[in-house]
Amino acid sequence: MSIVQTVTPEQATGKVAAIYAQVEKNFGRVYQGFQMYSASPDLMEQLFQQNSYYMRHPTLGFGLLAMIRMLVSEQNDCAYCIGFNESMLINRGGLSVEQIAAMKRDPSSAPLSEKDKAMLLFVLKGTANAKSIEKADLDALRGLGWDDRDIVDGLYHGARNAAVDIMFDAFKVENDF
């Protein structure tokens, strides 16, 4: 239970109920992390739309995005998001506990293509120290076939996850997975 007042799926009406129905369809249930946003239905709607965008992203795949979220959360020490994304990578992505542990110790060991690994490492660099990003970083990604939309979307996904980490930690969202 969060320290901010939330609306449970059973209590939800209107916009919140409609979004919860879609979340349940996509994930099987409405996790505490998503329920926390019910305190601000318009913000919750924006978050849902962003999640939907990334779920259908033409080039940033499930595994890469989940690894971005897990490892950004690892940088921020957000236990909820680390665990949630570990669970997704194991249960939906087919990764082993050993692969997850190795990736957390050394993100360059992520079981990704060279192209996806470069994006992962770029996002981790940008979320750890945004001012460290240089034109050469983008040129390297472009040389692997990423375009500027992908680069912006990738870094935004990591930066947005850092904001989620702050929200979940500040409002004490409890692990429910």
> pTM for the whole thing?
0.94
Please state, for a pLDDT cut of 70, what percent of the chain lies above it: 99
pLDDT in tens, 122-133: 999 999 999 999
Q: What is the pLDDT of residue 140?
A: 98
Mean pLDDT of 90-99: 96
Q: Is 176 within 8 Å of 32 (Cβ atoms)? A: yes
Confidence of residue 177 (pLDDT cuts 50, 70, 90): confident
pLDDT in tens, 61-77: 999 999 999 999 999 99
Mean pLDDT of 13-18: 95
pLDDT in tens, 131-154: 999 999 999 999 999 999 999 999
Residue ranges of domains in the chain, CATH in brackets: 14-55 (no CATH), 62-170 (1.20.1290.10)
Confidence of residue 175 (pLDDT cuts 50, 70, 90): confident
Q: Is 81 within 8 Å of 161 (Cβ atoms)? A: yes
SS (H, E, C) 24-58: HHHHCCCCHHHHHHHHCHHHHHHHHHHHHHHHCCC
